[in-house]
Amino acid sequence: MTLKLDPWGHFAIESYEKLFSQFGIQPIDNNILSMLPQKHRFFSRKIIFGHRDFDKWLKAYKNGEKVAVLTGLMPSGHVHLGHLMVFEELRFYQEIGVHVSVAIADAEAYAVRRIPRKKLMEYAREYIMYAYAIGLDPKKTRIYFQTNSDTPYYRLIQMFSRKVSMAEMEAIYGELEPSKIVAAFTQVADILHLQLPEYGGYKWVLVPVGADQDPHLRLTRDIADRFENELGLKRPASTYHKFIRGLDGNKMSSSKPEYAIFLSDDEETIRSKVMKALTGGRATAEEQRKYGGEPWKCTVYDLYMYYLFEKEEDLETLYRDCLKGLILCGEDKRRAAKMLIEMIKEIQEKAREFKDVIEDYVEFPRF
Amino acid sequence: MTLKLDPWGHFAIESYEKLFSQFGIQPIDNNILSMLPQKHRFFSRKIIFGHRDFDKWLKAYKNGEKVAVLTGLMPSGHVHLGHLMVFEELRFYQEIGVHVSVAIADAEAYAVRRIPRKKLMEYAREYIMYAYAIGLDPKKTRIYFQTNSDTPYYRLIQMFSRKVSMAEMEAIYGELEPSKIVAAFTQVADILHLQLPEYGGYKWVLVPVGADQDPHLRLTRDIADRFENELGLKRPASTYHKFIRGLDGNKMSSSKPEYAIFLSDDEETIRSKVMKALTGGRATAEEQRKYGGEPWKCTVYDLYMYYLFEKEEDLETLYRDCLKGLILCGEDKRRAAKMLIEMIKEIQEKAREFKDVIEDYVEFPRF
């Protein structure tokens, strides 16, 4: 079983493999890894596992061209460890000197997810606060609301609708509603507007997203092609990350708060959630010592892999010890809880510094 | 035959009658006429023949409330006598002190009518020039491009999409394309955005349009109702005008230039077009003297009714003389051509004054 040799969790990519074969997403391979100007565990562990044109983007970066990174945040619930990953990715690019833009997808949250505008603005405030706390520089990071952008951005939405048919959109999104159609073009405008001179003329834009966002990227690439002559638009590059699992083994989501770790959780809540997490342990301690654990099933292992262990050796050791039955779930969970609490406490302290200055940096919509 | 008693062309309303019965459009009746602060032949001749809530709007006007008029112009061809009617309506309201806004429907012209952006901006320039020439005050008239508006306007488009279903839109517009959906919400934003404090907070907005635009008004009224609580939106009022016929008896359109009178036509072109116009005349002069003409069939009569005769007596006399066979088509056409040439020459002279200052008053989109 090859899984045993794979402490970086490549196994979980298998479910993503049709993305490679069916949609032409490229794997993050050694060539890409060698082009990265700086290492990051997300890449080495294949948490960021696939891409489109990332090699071209990295080359443009190396050649000193104007490069930018843009991603979207949907303010649809409290910030949890899944979002933290996105913030950290953005920080990575900002640290290597790339321009960073963040679209708050409030139009989509309102129109498609039907979150009241007041509520979503509260969520957005929380997102921004933690983004700063994770280390995104408020002065260098452009954060804007979809409904609070300006004229050329919206002109793109108006123009894009001309060159896409209903059949194409249905093929991508399934059953359509007017809100979905408007939201889709809005996302395309998010991704492409940085190329306009009004927004800096960044022709090399990288979009780091979860694998589920690829349909938007495909639509965006098609639209960029169709407006190549008229507006000089280029295809964006994109990278795809896996999702950290919730403590029940499914995708972490604010809709199942008991299985998500929120950045706003207090010490006791975090400890209690981690202690109840689904692991790859056996029915009894005895069996576990005998047969070993199954770390690829373990949501606590995910915590280590995504966040708690920076060093590859530490993760490798844990993986082997678990496989061999040298470590039991109880002690492993206690250590994870302790480390996680420390990490989150530090973030919360930083967040407090930014709580009241968010509006100095980001303009909120009036309504 | 009641038509004989109807020199104001009420007959032509018959084809609009299902608008009254099926869609609840109200006729322009004596009550409305008595509420008008000033007379206008468009009303007395029932060229403007129907309305929704115009009575409420007129009452608000009378009570000194903030009232506004907004209409849209689609820059899809050269300006002809059909557009002139809209300009004159707007001037009427501006003269009685009403705020006037004009949306240049460039988003729709581009996305739905597929007119290249450069071309439509040329058309728009022509529209604006003639609007000023007809007497709209450049300083008092707010003219904006749909793709050149700003944030709160576009936020409305984003928000509106939430509360309309695909089925509803199909019932109104038939087969849908993404461009039609975006265009529809854009029109709704045109009509409703004046109510926002950002645009003056005009809660009483009147939309004078051709009868074919009522579907947009119905959608807009439904959306206003659905956002009454959230955004404090009120239903707009609207009036509906008939279309001046082209010289072939069908709707005047720039797509059939030989049957349309353009404001840019020269003297010889106008004369030649009028002389070839479809009339209600008989096969021979002899028959016409014997049986009389049929002015309701006559496109030259339309010219008199819509534009050339200000006085009701003049129109009435012409109608009777024609019916009685006292006037023949040739002389009638010559007179119409002469009067029309004079009228259009005057407009063209005024237009020249505005040709080079349009951009002092209206901001054009960069792309």
Predicted confidence band of residue A14 (pLDDT cuts 50, 70, 90): low
Place of tokens 């123009």: A159
Flag if A150 and B150 touch (Cβ within 8 Å).
yes
User: Over 90: is that where the pLDDT of A307 sits?
Assistant: yes
Contact pairs from chain A to chain B, CB under 8 Å: 112
What pLDDT shows up at residue A11? 47
**Residue B143 structure tokens:** 């003219």
Predicted confidence band of residue A1 (pLDDT cuts 50, 70, 90): very low
- Distance CA(B97)–CA(B94), nearest Å, equals 5
- Listed as ranges, residues in chain B with pLDDT below 70 are 1-16
Residue B17 sits at the vertex; the CA angle it makes with B205 and B183, to the nearest 5 degrees, is 45
Does A173 or A127 have the greater pLDDT score?
A127
Task: Convert the pLDDT of each residue in A65-110 to its tens digit.
Answer: 999 999 999 999 999 999 999 999 999 999 999 999 999 999 999 9
Share of chain A above pLDDT 90, in %: 90
Probe site for chain A from B154, B172, B185 (most A CB atoms < 10 A): B154
What pLDDT shows up at residue B8? 59
- Distance CA(B189)–CA(A266), nearest Å, equals 45
Give me the mean pLDDT over the A272-277 stretch. Answer: 98
- Positive or negative, the CA dihedral A108, A114, A116, A120 is negative
Task: Convert the pLDDT of each residue in A115-171 to its tens digit.
Answer: 999 999 999 999 999 999 999 999 999 999 999 999 999 999 999 999 999 999 999
What pLDDT shows up at residue B1? 32
Taking the CA of residue B108 and the nearest CA in chain A, the distance in Å comes to 8
Flag if A166 and B157 touch (Cβ within 8 Å).
no
What pLDDT shows up at residue A212? 86
What pLDDT shows up at residue A12? 52
Structural domains in chain A plus CATH codes: 8-243 (3.40.50.620), 257-351 (1.10.240.10)
Place of tokens 């294949």: A46
What pLDDT shows up at residue B160? 98
Cα distances (Å, whole numbers) of residue A16 to A19, A219, A237: 5, 19, 18
Q: Which of A162, A166, A366 sits opposite B176 (nearest CB)?
A: A166
- Cβ atoms within 10 Å, residue B361: 16
Contacts of A48 (CB under 8 A, 6+ apart): A28, A42, A89, A208, A239, A240, A241
Predicted confidence band of residue A13 (pLDDT cuts 50, 70, 90): low
Flag if A152 and B367 touch (Cβ within 8 Å).
yes
Nearest in space to A70 (alpha carbons), one of A252, A226, A199, A230: A199
Q: Which of B111, B158, B177 sits opposite A158 (nearest CB)?
A: B111
- Distance CA(B247)–CA(A217), nearest Å, equals 51
Residue B252 sits at the vertex; the CA angle it makes with B6 and B51, to the nearest 5 degrees, is 55
Probe site for chain B from A161, A169, A233 (most B CB atoms < 10 A): A161
Give me the mean pLDDT over the A168-177 stretch. Answer: 92
* Dihedral, CA of residue A147, residue A153, residue A159 and residue A164, to nearest 10: -70
What pLDDT shows up at residue B19? 75
- Cβ atoms within 10 Å, residue A335: 16
Between helix B166-173 and helix B214-226 the angle, nearest 10°, is 160
